[in-house]
Each structure stands twice: as structure tokens, then as C-alpha cells.
Amino acid sequence: MARTATVVNAPPEAVWAVLADPPAYEEWVVGSKEIRRWDPEWPAVGTAFHHTVQVGPLPVKDRTTVLESEPPRRLVLRARARPTGIAHVALTLTPEGAGTRVSMAEWPVSGPPAVLANPVQDFLINRRNDEALRRLKRLAERR
């Protein structure tokens, strides 16, 4: 399982506001090219947004679904990017001083990444997620 974290200079509610805004995922999720549509109740459990991600030279259309939602503390997503696989992503928001510690854990649940799960893969996922959290931090601090 890949894990990374950052501290955002904004309260959990400000970070949650970014997570609760489907079009914002286009700005902070690395590889995301477009959020095409979303359920109006996002991020309630069972809701989804439909996205396009770039996998190498190919755009892949799929969706991300909410598995758990505890505003403004925790969001667990099922992110699909077939044919590369499906991953679960858990974002945990913990107050820290005047800011928020945002922890992100990601683990593949199907497809080749789930079969090949190893420390090298986790390292690469962490590098991508470090950049994602840097972008999320920027968005939350701007709001």
C-alpha cells in the first residue's frame, strides 16, 4: 500500500471543500484530463464522477465512486482506470495546529497493479500522490 501525507495551511473544512468539488479533481489528481459529469450528491456514499485520465498516450474514460464519506474527516474512493486496473484511495483529514494533515493511502484492488503489488510500485504511486497532495494543498489554501 502506498502512503503519503502533507500539511495544508487551511482547516479541514477548506480541504473538504476541494474534495467535495468534482471539477477540482481535474486540477489536483495527477493524470486527470477531464471530469465529464458527476452525481449532484457527490461525495455521498455511492455517488460517482466520470473522468478521463491519460494512460501513456491514450485517454481512458472511466469513473470514481465514493465508498466512505465522513465530512470533513475521511473520504474513500474506488478509482477505476481500466484496463490498467482499479484502486482504492483513502484521504484522511486531521486537524494539526491551524491547518490540516492530509494523509493519502492507495492500494490496487484489481488488474495488473493488484497482481504485481510491490515496494517499487508503491514508491512510484507515492511520487504521483506527493504531487497530487501538493496540488490539493495549493487549491485548499487558495479557497
Structural domains of the chain in order of their starting residue, each with its CATH number: 2-142 (3.30.530.20)
Kindly report the backbone phi and psi dihedral angles of residue 133, in degrees, each rounded to the nearest multiple of 5, phi listed first. -70, -30
Contact (CB, 8 A) for 5 and 99: no
The predicted structure's pLDDT at residue 114 = 66
- pLDDT one-digit tens code per residue, 55-107: 778 888 999 999 999 999 999 999 987 767 889 999 999 999 999 999 999 99
Instruction: Give the pLDDT score at 53.
Output: 83
Average pLDDT in the 104-112 region? 86
CB atoms within 10 A of CB 3: 14
pLDDT at 112: 66
- For residue 6, is pLDDT > 70? yes
CB atoms within 10 A of CB 132: 23
Q: How far is 26 from 52, CA to CA, in rounded Å?
A: 9
Q: Is the pTM of this model over 0.85?
A: yes
